[in-house]
Structure 1
Amino acid sequence: MTEFDQLVAPGYPVFLGSEFKQPEPDKAFFHILPIPLEESVSYGGGTAEGPAAILKASWQLETWDGKSEPSQRGIYTHPPVDVSGTAEQAVQRIAEATTALVKAGGFPVALGGEHTVTYGIIKGLIDAGLDNFGVVQIDAHADLRDAYEGNPYSHASVMKRIVDLDIPVFQLGVRALCREEMDIRKLHGVGHLDADILVPKNIYSIDLPDDFPDYVFFTLDIDGMDPTIFPSTGTPVPGGLGWYQTLALFESVVKKRTVIGMDIMEFSPIDGFHGYEFSAALLAYKMMGIVEREAFRECLNR
């Protein structure tokens, strides 16, 4: 068993701490924000354990991601956000942590936790003074219910909370939604390419609408990927995105827009199946690599 000698909190090691010492915050581009919120899960549980599991598995990663070493840009791991109390209180603390991180010049990489977390992050970006950005979402579910089981802070309502803030949303890979969500898509002009288009046609690259903002926050719900890859989530749905397809779709957005942050939500570890934890850590690192390479190319072109 690996001995974690760099901890930001009990049970929370530094991301990739097996390979480098935790840098000073101002020396890091990527800022890992663990957010173990689990308040409104409606099927399987375990999302509260997701961030710590991903951090622990990251100690098994190579720094070379196959194309570059994103860790050279600096990765700083924050202590987990306090998500005690009511969902509204937790969302406010998530927003405050995000605001502080962004104002300090960091690129947020949030690890959840249930998808409600993303609402707090978006509020934090707004409070940090960022505007005119959109959200691109990979997910099995539309998450556009006004409330689920009477809870407006449900993980099934997170994107409705975001469009209520007048933030444009574009959805990828959805394959489970209700009529209410169909109506809300139309009402708020939520763009989408659902799984029944993306997967059978093997689409690896997308073009966002011309009027979609130049700045994008990218949220990835693990259940957006097929359960043959990630059964480790509370609400798996068959017919999801593949591993390479997910990364390629993300890269197509990064190449055509400026991504200002990202998250990975709804990962629920399965006891005895550490491969899924490793896969989630690798997914986060490969996404950081895509961001790092594109940012480096922009610098070269200036």
Structure 2
Amino acid sequence: MIDKQGQPTIFLASEIEQCPLAEAAFAVLPVPYEKTVSYGSGTARGPEAILVASEQLETWDGHSNPSSLGIHTCMAVDCSGQAEDVIESIAMAVKQILDAGSMPVVLGGEHTVTYGVIKAYLDAGVTDFGVVQIDAHADLRDAYEGDPLSHASVMKRIVDEGIPLYQLGIRAYCGEEKAIRESNPHIYYQDADELVPQAIQSIQLPDAFPEKVFFTVDIDGLDPSVFPSTGTPVPGGLGWYQTLNLFESVARHRQIIGFDIMEFSPLQNLHAYDFAAALLSYKMMGIVQRTSNMMS
């Protein structure tokens, strides 16, 4: 992704210099992949919009300065070609980040991207981890419209790899997904109809859930009043502070090994949501910094 001066767009470019990957605590990876969206489109433009909006952020996030640990923005993944090839390209890019000792912060793109991210951890020999998902949808269909690499099937692909899953904020799923949830002992969940009316701000993962956690956020997991900028909005979602508090509650009793922001679809001339997505990314970096003894 290139700015108007022909330079790569980097996260928080107005405030910081590009940190070498080997020295950066966080590595931002744009993945503008969009192939199987089933309602509104535009997720391919999400990563660039977030990067541009990040120039309006302050380095102080209200509690700490996560940029002080170093942020490296990677070149965007080439998302042309067949889905299988794109998944491999994503996995290779994320594995380079892991090999460098940095934490992946992946900006999508449709939610299928997360399967490529998880594949990178497996390819790197990391198997003892679970995935925590904020989403409006379960994404547990074996295939959607005949495509097993659909955004509606991404969590099924992940649990098929034997990775435990904890779902938060789900409020739209089909009978097939309901059956999968009930039959798989490694899928846990607290849905929106419990989290939102009760204003639950923290969760305790089961003792059996792995110590290491990859956290994936589908923007539609938040309520459309917060983020209408997504292709498949569903009312009754999480609030802004509730989302951050739930993430922090996981980070405080588990080790976050990476996270992503998926399904952000920017709305023309409504840059408030671009900024909110950039701020969400940065706030999550700050939470990781403060809960992981990473303070510089």
Question: TM-score when scaled to structure 1?
Answer: 0.95
Runs of at least 5 residues in structure 2 that lack an aligned partner in the other structure? none
3-state SS, counterpart of residue 106 of structure 2? strand
Q: Which amino acid aligns with 2:241?
A: Y
* Contact 2:21/2:97 (<8 A) preserved: no
Aligned equivalents of 1:138 and 1:84: distance in 2? 27
Could you tell me which residue of structure 2 aligns to residue 21 of structure 1?
17
Aligned equivalents of 2:76 and 2:182: distance in 1? 37
Deviation digits for residues 122-167 of structure 1 (CA, Å, limit 9, x no counterpart): 0001111111100000000000000000000000000000000000
Q: Does 1:207 align with 2:204?
A: yes
Moved more, 235-244 or 24-33: 24-33
Selected match of 2:152 from 153, 156, 159: 156
Aligned equivalents of 1:209 and 1:6: distance in 2? 48
Deviation, structure 1 residue 7: 3.2
Q: Does 1:286 align with 2:286?
A: no
Matches within 5 A, 1:34-183: 34-183=30-179
3-state SS, counterpart of residue 199 of structure 2? coil
Aligned equivalents of 1:232 and 1:252: distance in 2? 26
Deviation, structure 1 residue 187: 2.2
Could you tell me which residue of structure 2 aligns to residue 258 of structure 1?
255
Aligned equivalents of 2:184 and 2:27: distance in 1? 31
Equivalent residues, number = 293
* Contact 1:100/1:128 (<8 A) preserved: no
* Contact 1:44/1:234 (<8 A) preserved: yes
Could you tell me which residue of structure 2 aligns to residue 269 of structure 1?
266
Could you tell me which residue of structure 2 aligns to residue 7 of structure 1?
7
Aligned equivalents of 1:266 and 1:282: distance in 2? 16
Matches within 5 A, 1:238-249: 238-249=235-246
Deviation, structure 1 residue 296: 2.2
Aligned equivalents of 2:214 and 2:206: distance in 1? 15
* Contact 2:44/2:108 (<8 A) preserved: yes
Aligned equivalents of 1:99 and 1:32: distance in 2? 13
Runs of 4+ in 1 over 2 A off after TM superposition: 3-8
Selected match of 1:187 from 183, 188, 191: 183
Could you tell me which residue of structure 2 aligns to residue 216 of structure 1?
213
CA distance 1:180–1:6, shift in 2 (3 Å): same
Q: Which amino acid aligns with 1:71?
A: S
Aligned equivalents of 2:76 and 2:183: distance in 1? 36
* Contact 1:195/1:241 (<8 A) preserved: yes
CA RMSD of aligned residues (A): 1.3
